[in-house]
Structure 1
Amino acid sequence: MRALLVANPAATTTTRKVRDVLVRALSTELKVEVAETTHRGHARELAAGATADGIDVVVTLGGDGTVNEAANGLLAGGPGPHVPTLAVVPGGSTNVFSRALGRSRDPVEATGEILDSLRAGRTRLVPLGNASALTGDPGTAEAWTEPRWFVFAAGMGFDADVISRVEAQRARGRRSTGALYVRSGVASFLLGRDRRRPPLTLTRPGEPPVDGLFLVLVSNVSPWTYLGARPINPSPEASLDTGLDVYAMGRVGVVRMLHHLRQTMADRPDARGRGVHRWHDLAGLELTSSRPQGWQLDGDHLGTATGLRVRSVPDALRVVI
């Protein structure tokens, strides 16, 4: 069985020593080729090449961004039996999708688990999300971007603004930590205008629109993300066995925002109350905005848009579990 290990050397917890250990372990069962990413989008290029080359398994070693790029490369031609199986080894700061698959947080232990699963044939098809953004004149054919896949989350508004602030700090050499996200979130909430004048409207097929939103989180798995070891779980019912879950928030003050945040971090999260909207197992939705808003997929800020179309695609990708 042929495998391609796609390693991101810039990921938070990935080192050459760890990579070499994983290669030796994987080589006991697989014929392994190794490729390190060198630029943004490289993992997508490598995964697309692996599909064209008939590779059986693509193993990612990196963070959620590496997993997202690999999934987009694997599915560049759409889902189907020709697409290699994806195996995920955690190498980033949060590793949301890896944890959703039940992987150990230790990359060496996770590699052992993957090998055990491959020997036993433990793989499954999972649903993924697909999103297209409105970035131009709605009256033109080029207004909507090409659809992109996401494995665990999409968002528009506040969360994308937080990610943008974090990415700016990381570009200055700061490490991606829970504290950095907290500081960025506080700054975005206190200094931003969107929570005071919420610009977003959410529409579901056959249902009346819900407007006055400043935050919309779309989840394919649960939890939505982590602060270190602490899960943040606004949509606890989200699962790889269902469609998409949505957590949205309208205009709130500081005290109520802190209350809702505590709810999402509770041992038994139940994020409800004034200003909060939740939907479970959606096949799709559309967001529109009265002014340009940031949008993100799997923690990667992708610019600004005035609309976002999101859908769930069942059985999109085979993964090692």
Structure 2
Amino acid sequence: MRALLVVNPKATTTSARTRDVLVHALASDLELRVVETGHRGHARELARQAAEDGETELVISLGGDGTVNEVANGLLEPHGPDPDGLPRLAVVPGGSTNVFARALGLPNDVVEATGALLNALENGSSRTVGLGLASGTPDTDDAGVPPRWFTFCAGFGFDAGVVGRVEQQRERGKRSTHALYMRQVLRQFFGDPHRRRGTITLAEPEREPVEGLVASIVCNTAPWTFLGNRPVYAAPEASFDTALDVLGLTRLSSAAVTRYGTQLLTSSPERGPHGKHAVSRHDLPAFTLHSQVPLPFQMDGDHLGLRTSISFTGVRRALRVIA
């Protein structure tokens, strides 16, 4: 089988020695080409070329969720969703959280995940997964923003602001740790001018809009993220087999943050955040999030700047994944 291994050399939980061992193990079973990424967007370029060459059957992402996102976008860029016509996607987790890989049921250890991948290839084990697509909304300032796919989540408002703050800290040389995230949550809380009166509106076809959201989390699967080995469920019903789920919060006062933060930390596959300031939607094929003011936006943990309006589409059976 012809395969491309896209390696992020800056992946936080792998070393050059570990990567060499993994490449050797994969090359024993595959006709493998290995390319290290050199800049942001490089993984997307490599995956797009693989989707267009007509010879590559499998693209393996070795890195974190950002690398997986780029590879998925590159595979889908030429012709759109085609799970039976595109190269299959495989993931070896090498980041700090690895939500997509763990949501697929893969081990979080790179060596164990490689073994699981080789077993799946030997057994011909794969599945199709749905993905989310976000794009600029017509007749708004964001109309020209190109569409982009996400594998497990997107966020508009508070949580995206946290992601942006974490990225700033990492650019200054800070390691991506859970303690770093918690510090940025507190800084975003005290620095967010809109946390008491939200500016976001959730608009769905044939349903009354929901106004005044401070935070909006869009989930393509569950869990939403992990704190160490603890899964966190913002939308417990979200699944790779359905469209998109949304959790919105209309207030982030000190009491509300304590309540919903506790609910997230104690969430389970049966129950996520709930209460009079929580808005939940399940299996939405299409909807739009509008804001009265520009707010931070993130996809798969990648901060994408400020937006005022984003259209979302849940696309079932977008890619075939080795799992």
Shorter-normalised TM-score: what interval?
A: over 0.9
Give how far 1:267 is off: 5.3
Gaps of 5+ in 2: none
The offset of 1:230, in angstroms, is 2.0
Q: Secondary structure at the match of 1:10?
A: coil
Matched residue, 2:220? 220
TM norm structure 1: 0.96
Task: State the SS of the aligned residue for 1:195.
Answer: coil
1:255-282 residue CA offsets vs partner (Å, 9 max, x unmatched): 2211111111215343111210111111
- Please list the CA deviations of residues 154-203 of structure 1 after superposition, one character each: whole Å capped at 9, or x if unmatched: 11001110011000000000011111111101110122111123110001
1:17: Cα distance to partner? 1.1
Secondary structure (helix, strand or coil) at the match of 1:79 reads coil
Deviations 1:181-236 (A, max 9, x none): 11101110122111123110001111000000010000011110112222221111
- How far did residue 133 of structure 1 move? 3.1
Cross-structure match for 2:143: 143
Q: Is the 8 A contact 2:140 2:309 kept in 1?
A: no
What secondary structure, in the 3-state scheme, does the structure 2 residue paired with 1:50 have? helix
Q: What TM-score do you get using the length of structure 2 for normalisation?
A: 0.95
User: In the aligned structure 2, how far is the partner of 1:274 from the partner of 1:260?
Assistant: 11
Alignment of 1:26-45 (within 5 A): 26-45=26-45
AA of the residue aligned to 2:164: S
Residues in 1 aligned to 2:86 and 2:241: alpha-carbon distance in whole angstroms: 21
**Matched residue, 1:48:** 48
Aligned position for 1:304: 306
Q: Give the structure 2 partner of residue 72 of structure 1.
A: 73
Cα distance between partner residues in 2 of 1:139 and 1:319: 35
Q: Report the secondary structure of 2:214's partner residue.
A: strand
- Is residue 253 from structure 1 mapped to residue 256 from structure 2 by the alignment? no
* Partner-residue secondary structure (3-state), 1:285: strand
- 1:97 is matched with 100
* Secondary structure of 1:118 counterpart: helix
Quickly say closer, same or farther: Cα 1:299–1:31, change in 2 above 3 A. Answer: same
Shift of 1:138: 2.9
Q: Which of 88, 91, 95 is the aligned partner of 1:88?
A: 91
Amino acid across the alignment from 2:249: M
Identity of aligned residues (%): 51
Specify whether residues 257 and 267 from structure 1 end up closer, same or farther in structure 2 by C-alpha distance, changes over 3 A only.
closer
Report the number of matched residues.
Answer: 318
Contact 1:133–1:306 under 8 Å retained in 2: no
Pairwise CA RMSD = 1.4
Name the CA distance, whole Å, in 1 between partners of 2:205 and 2:39.
39
Task: State the AA in 2 paired with 1:298.
Answer: D
**Is the 8 Å Cα contact of residues 66 and 300 (structure 2) preserved in structure 1?**
yes
Aligned counterparts, 1:1-321, within 5 A: 1-53=1-53, 54-77=55-78, 78-80=80-82, 81-134=84-137, 138=139, 143-266=143-266, 268=268, 269-321=271-323
Query: Contact between 2:4 and 2:35, CA under 8 Å: does it hold in 1?
Result: yes
1:92 aligned counterpart, secondary structure: coil
Deviation at 1:11, TM superposition (A): 1.5
Equivalents in 1 of 2:16, 2:95: separation in Å?
A: 14
Letter in 2 for 1:76: E
- In structure 1, the residue corresponding to 2:14 is in which secondary structure? coil
Distance, in Å, in 2 between the alignment partners of 1:108 and 1:253 is: 43
1:275-317 deviation per Cα after TM superposition (whole angstroms, max 9, x unaligned): 1011111111101000001111101011111101001011100
Q: After the TM superposition, which segments of 4 or more aligned residues of structure 1 sit over 4 Å from their partners?
A: none
Uncovered stretches (5+) of structure 1, i.e. residues with no partner: none
Residue 96 of structure 1, CA deviation: 0.2
Question: 2: CA distance between counterparts of 1:252 and 1:228?
Answer: 25
